[in-house]
Each structure stands twice: as structure tokens, then as C-alpha cells.
Structure 1
Amino acid sequence: MTNDTSRFFSAPDGLQLHARDYPPALGGERRLPVICLPGLSRNARDFHPFATLLSQDAALPRRVVALDYRGRGLSAWDNDAANYNVVIECRDVIAACAALGISRAIFVGTSRGGLILHVMAATQPDLIDAAVLNDIGPAIEAEGLKEIRDYLANRAFLETFEDAADALKRIHGPTFPALSRADWLDMAHAIYRDTNGRIAADHDPRLADQLQAVDFSQPLPTLWPQFALLAERPLFVVRGEHSRLFSTETMARMQAEASNLETATAEGQGHAPLLHHRSLFPRIKAFLDHRP
């Protein structure tokens, strides 16, 4: 059991947002907190096992905060779907830090969360002490983004969380051979919510609208100038072995351009890796333990 607490606060435009706050075990109060930023359609529950391991670590615990972006988890849905974008979500993350009394932190950004960190490095760099980028970089692959688009467009309603775990394994199993049945069930409970007896993805379905509007006949935009700013601080970059969104070529260029960068490959995982998986977590923890 953990003693994480729900925190509600206002975005700059007044929308109510939510975060899960995991206080550290004794001795961790003076260390920098870790703020976890989920993927496009995901929410704070994605980080529950990871946050529990970090906050309750016997040797070097830390406070961990996991955010629900607008339209996800327990945060309110936005009346204007155009506000589901990286710039506004970055402003929301900055507002969350202010509301929770955090002036500097180590950030963990999965997919969309990593893109937000690129923007933050250009707009509020002093917040970032160090960062973990989970299967994301300044360039993303069109094929991987198309897969996410098609996955989000197929909004299914399921009977049970067991059914949801089965559905996730059918879709993602080929790129996640390392996951156990317990992992798939954990993922199902993180992604889906039971609403009046129906199991459905826990986000505003209009999140898919922006991806439907992407013109894949044109090159996707990149964030290399913003990455140069982010790379001024220590970075740990994770790539899923079977990821189709984050290429080995992009990771190699990141290594060439950043002197403070460490990398790891999440074997047997695709997009986006489970950071608490036993094959990956010790390496991330070692990186974090070198920070104040």
C-alpha cells in the first residue's frame, strides 16, 4: 500500500487538473522530487508502480508527483479540443509545479511527456534539474504515429478489466514479449476506467482528432533546437527495443549531440516501455540516485 494523495489545482485558464502525490519515506524530504509526465492518451496511473518504488525506496527515497493532463484521468475535459496540445500542456505542468510548491525537479517524460519537456527547456528551463525521456526524442517516426492514430480512433468498450488486458495484449503483444499477464492487467487498470459498468479508455476521445488531422504526406516537425537546450542538463534516454515511434537513428544523433546523455534499451518492449519493469528500473534508479 502507498499513501499517495490526490491533488487538485487550476490550470492558467481555470480548468481543474489533477495529480497523484507520493510523499517520500523518511529521509527523502530534502531531495529533489520526481515529476512524471505520461503519454498522449495516458494518465498518472501509468506511473503508480514506478512512483511507489521510488518514493518508498529504503536507501534514497524521493517525493514523486504524477500528472493527469487536461482531458485525462481525473483532470477535467476541455471544451475546446484544440487546447489538447503540447504548448498548453507544458503551461499546465508549470502551473502544477507552482501549485505543489516545486521550484526544481527531475522530470520523467514518456512519449508526449518528453515532447512537453522539450518545450519546457525553451520556456522554463530552471525547473528542470535532469530528465528521463521514455521512448521519445526530438524526431518521431511517421509509422509509429500512424499506429497511435489508428489505435486511438478505435474506441472500444469492454466488459471487464480481464477483457481489457486481453485486448491490449492482442494489439501490443508482438512488440512487448517481455510482459507477463500481471503486467497486462496492470496496464489495463492504468489505461481504462470502469464507468457505470463499462470499461473504456480514461481520456477525452477528442484527443484523437489532432492525429486525424496530421498530413503524413509532409515531413513531421522536429525539436532539435529545443533538444539542444534540454541536453544542457543530465539526460537518461530509454528506447523500447521494438519501438516504431523512436528510431535508433534518432537516439544515435541525440548521443552525438549531448555530452550529458545516458541511454538504455528496454529489451522485449515497444512503445512505450514500462519503466518499473525489473529489466529497466535499476538503471533508471542509478541515474536518479546521482542527482541531489
Structure 2
Amino acid sequence: MRPLLPPSVRNLLPLELERRVPLQEPPGLGALVELRLGEGRPVELCFTGASRFLDPSGELTTDAARAWIAGDGLCQRLLQRVAQGSVYALEEELCQGFVTLPGGHRLGLAGQVVASERGHRLAQVTAANLRIARELVGAAELLLDSLQDHGLLPPWPSLLLVGPPGSGKTTLLRDLVRRASEGCPERQVEGMRVGLVDERSEVAACHRGVPRNRVGPRTDVLDRARKAVGLMQLVRTMDPQLVATDEIGSEEDARAVLEAREAGVAVLVTAHAGSLEELAARPGLQPLLAHRAFEAVCVLGRHPRPGTLVALHPRPHIPARSEYL
């Protein structure tokens, strides 16, 4: 049996939570994806196959009435441990609502906000969502098979991976970056120079700029750089054949992707959308479809497991709306 949590994450948990969270993965539920906390409500563990509550003795249960209720200040104490006592040092992250942990894990936060120069920041944390990043070598193979079946590989295509939160976009992106960088000789694809913009340190999990996750021997990483700025910087300075980044969404991001394509560079990016139609409804991203920026849009789902390929749309083209004409 595998450990439920990486040691670096377990060590961050407040004592009253750490002593209740199981040490090993329970059989039949899959890997832990999220640990969700909220003051005055049950602590929930979300696995790839199901979710369970913690009872006061640390056993897993489906009955919320039997569950252990997080006490006042638990989420704030978790944040204090993550910040190593200096929450002020996380000012920028608190404005964004999440903190990236070593290893690419992410602590999402909610609670009471106050106005700040950047819009607002969290003043009191009363809910937290600890998302566990898992490097899954080989995750990209089924998608690569499908691309080859559709005649989209070789050469390496420009791809947009879309799906709802928790559908495995980042995990699949990481493995695709690795495969592009290493090359796929069995698919007649040579290794490529890859530039990765890892704004939240979730893909490469860099420590002092050095990737901890396997992203390939030809991959250059811009860690914690803004996506749009970083993509253009890599195109100008590192001569990539492919650039990649996670969770594009703004018009600025879309312009950077289009500029990379116009420079003859392939792109590999992800975005939140449950279907091609939902993607086209996002004003910031719709121009990418109008300009045929991708050889394929790959729609991912959570069931039966994260990373499931729901649909593959080869060479999608949706004409621009009137506001883009």
C-alpha cells in the first residue's frame, strides 16, 4: 500500500488533523486527490474513485453525521504552518487565493476578504482545499495513440487540453511535455526543444529553478513567470520548437499563443471548459478557435478516472463572433 500523503505535505498538517488522516491509501478508492477543510463542517477526503469523511477516530465514513467537524482556526493554523509563521510573506499568493507547495501541490483558500491594492486579499481563512499533485509517467500514451489514429502525429501537433477542474489536465500536460522533450521514436517523432512556462510551479515542481518532476531532457522552464510574458520570452530567447503552459484564459494569454504559432512554434496548453462549445463561449479564448491555432482540442473528463479522453476534435475552427471581426 502507498502512503496517503507525501511526507512533505503530511508534515504541514496541524496535529489534530495529522493524527486523524490515515497513513496509507485505503483499498478500492484510488489515490487521494483533495483534502477539503471548512470550519464547522466535516473534513472530506476526495479520491479518484469516491469521497469519504473522516470520523473522530480517523476512520473513513460516508455518513456526514458521524464525521469529525473541523474546529475554529484549523484552516488558519494550516496556513500558518505552510507560511512557516510568516503569513505576510505569502501576500501575493493570498491575493490569488492559493499557495503552491513544494512538489507542485496546491493549497486553495477561501474565507473573509478585505480590499487591497491588487483587488482583495484573504484576511481570515475559514476553508481550504489541499490538492495533491501526482506525477504519472505514461499518462499521455492513450492520447498519443488517439492522435496517431487521427493522422495528427507525426509531426508533434499543437494541442489544447480542456476539461473541468480535477479532470487531469495538468497531469496530462506534464507527461506530454516529457514525451515531446524525450521524443517518441516508436511514433516517428524526434525529441523537441520545449519551453515551459510554469506560473504556479505545479507542472515541473521547481525548487530554486530546477525541475523536480520529469519534464524531459530538452525542456527549459520559466518558473513562476506570467504565462503571456513567459511564452514570448521563451520564443525570443530559447529557440523552442514547442512552448507549453497550464490554464490559459485571458485575451493576453490567447494573443501570446497566437504570436507563438505565427513564429512557427507549436503550442501545448490547457484551459477550463467541459466541451468545445463551452470553450467557444469564453471570450478570451474564442479567437484561438477562429484562427485555427490548434491541430486538435482534447476534451478530458473525471470519470471513470481523471484524464479520461471524452472527445478529440481535429483541427477545430469556429468562426469569430461579431465582436472579433
TM-score, with length taken from structure 1: 0.30
TM-score, with length taken from structure 2: 0.28
| Structure that is richer in helix per residue | 1
Quick check: which has more Rg, 1 or 2?
2
Instruction: Tell which has more relative contact order, 1 or 2 (C-alpha 8 A, sep 6+).
Output: 1
| Structure that is richer in strand per residue | 2
